[in-house]
Chain A
């Protein structure tokens, strides 16, 4: 499989401040690649360099094996869906979509044919004559995407395009975007600070923090096997303890600051006495396990029940006041649990992961 985009050691400095710091990655053709990171970590800066609005301080950027240094945005085979869409208010829907094709000098018959086809594709047939301010948020979204897709770019860049939508629409658009990408087969590079958007849609995700890539991998890899504490904290929910390593063998044994002894995984072996953070997913905690062999167990008291259908959780506190989230399976087995109850929790050492702090 060939790569649509290759980025090597790209750096962007604003004065003394390094916004993008030595980032390298490849995006295979036809894949959905997300860049996930907190606000201000340099995502937009990175995307603007790919689109050509900004030049890297150092590093190379190739699109379909062509070096992009010095190539202006209008000459690059990529298109950008802007964070606030940037639809042209002085034009109607077809004029917006046909804008780029017209600049290519295509005949107006051909342009209108393609506009009709692309409107069909984004599920807005017959909307061509509408003004932009007559569209709903989700429709504008799709027009903005159609306006780029009609250019048949090698790579479509999307800068938090769902950010301006309300929650319900965002959930719906997530699925639609994924379907659309599978349909058209264009390579998507998608920026977001919302981990659930990235997890749902992407083939691969890069987690970015303070200008650097922390980890690149499939959603499953990132979730199940984070390589850095930042990824463990940022992708999905996690409970954490801090403690010290007692022994490093098949599992690492740690003593938490509350004095509990746990066995867990770690990527490398640590000397005893090393300070570590231990991360554990809420769904790894089992309530009142029947078979305790090989499990780490401890007692907690229930503080609150956070009911959210299939996502229901218990908010529990350990004797020292440390709070933990525990998944509450909705199979009616735990209906008897009330706030204030004292319960035993257990977890398998394979599901906990420690990192040196």
Chain B
């Protein structure tokens, strides 16, 4: 009897989640998947076709954009990791308890405003007539304003800024379980700071690094605003290709195919990454 009652409650509570998953994720995706295989014959009749997928591989600009996007997303992930590691180490191991809370709030604060506002914030700072240029001119460091926007480095910086939190939070949570005496023991056994980082801290934080990296990589790959607004005119992001197909060319079938290619290819990249570092997703999630 007990078991039965439990089972009913279980399904009762689970049903909103399942419904949400089904209505908002599964159904639209199935629809998009179907769309991506649709096309027009030479006569203009709707038919089933693989042409949308073929286009991606035939047209160099498409897969070139994808490769570029993936590469830059990886660079973003790596830079975010390099920055987040010392930040989270400081928050967990060095800062006093009260400063800790303050620092964590400080990290969260930028996420209270929308991404659009954040990106415009950067633009106000960096543009030719922006705040940085104004002060550098005043102080005589430069005698002509420099354009700091619209290049790849600024774009990566923007992406790193947007992604920081998603790397820091998992790193903080794994670092909290790192026993200080392990670090001290390594130090006592003649390890240098770099040795400790390499042999103790990073292996211990591996699950957090992996989950943080996956999230940051996916977010960077799927980001639209930052690359679009801060990146250069010739630095196309793959999401812009998708957007163009849907909105500019009004070619929903091609856009849907690109959307699915993005999903599949990014999953493949993550799978390869996990294989190379000899991990599995279950371990990381736990």
Binding site for B on A (CB under 8 A): 51-53, 72-75, 79-80, 82-84, 86-88, 90, 99-100, 103-104, 147-148, 151
Contacts and interface: CB of A to CB of B under 8 A. Distances in A.
Given A88-B200, A90-B204, A74 B185 contact: no
Tell me what chain B mostly uses at the interface: helix, strand, loop, or mixed: helix
Given A79-B189, A82-B181, A99-B186, 8 more contacts: A53-B187, A74-B188, A74-B191, A80-B185, A84-B181, A90-B204, A100-B190, A104-B190
Q: Interface size bucket, B side? A: 10 to 19
Interface string B158-197: 0000000000000000000001011011111111100100
B187 A73 contact: yes
Contacts of A148: 189
A88 B187 contact: no
A82 B190 contact: no
Contacts of B195: 103
B184 A73 contact: yes
Contact of A103 (B189, B203, B204): B189
Nearest to B184: A53
Contact of B189 (A52, A53, A83, A147): A147
Interface of B: 179, 181-182, 184-192, 195, 199-200, 203-204
Contacts of A75: 190
Nearest to A48: B184
A86 B185 contact: yes
Contact of B182 (A52, A73, A80, A86): A86
B188 A51 contact: yes
A151 B189 contact: yes
A99 B192 CA distance: 12
Contact of A99 (B179, B184, B199, B203): B199
Nearest to B202: A90
Contacts of A79: 188-189
B123 to A, nearest CB: 44
Contacts of B199: 88, 99
B191 to A, nearest CB: 5
19 contacts: A51-B188, A52-B188, A53-B184, A74-B189, A74-B191, A80-B184, A82-B181, A82-B185, A83-B181, A84-B181, A86-B181, A86-B182, A86-B184, A90-B204, A99-B189, A100-B190, A103-B191, A103-B195, A147-B189
A79 B186 CA distance: 10
A73 B188 contact: yes
Nearest to B206: A90
Contacts of A84: 179, 181
B190 A103 contact: yes
B177 to A, nearest CB: 11
B153 to A, nearest CB: 36
Contacts of A104: 190
A103 B192 contact: yes
Given A53-B184, A82-B181, A84-B181, A90 B189 contact: no
B78 to A, nearest CB: 22
A74 B184 contact: no
Contact of B187 (A72, A147, A151): A72
A88 B185 contact: yes
Nearest to A147: B189
A53 B189 CA distance: 12
A334 B282 CA distance: 69
Contacts of A86: 179, 181-182, 184-185
Contacts of B185: 80, 82, 86-88
A82 B184 contact: yes
Contacts of B190: 74-75, 100, 103-104, 151
Given A88-B200, A90-B203, A90-B204, A100 B181 contact: no
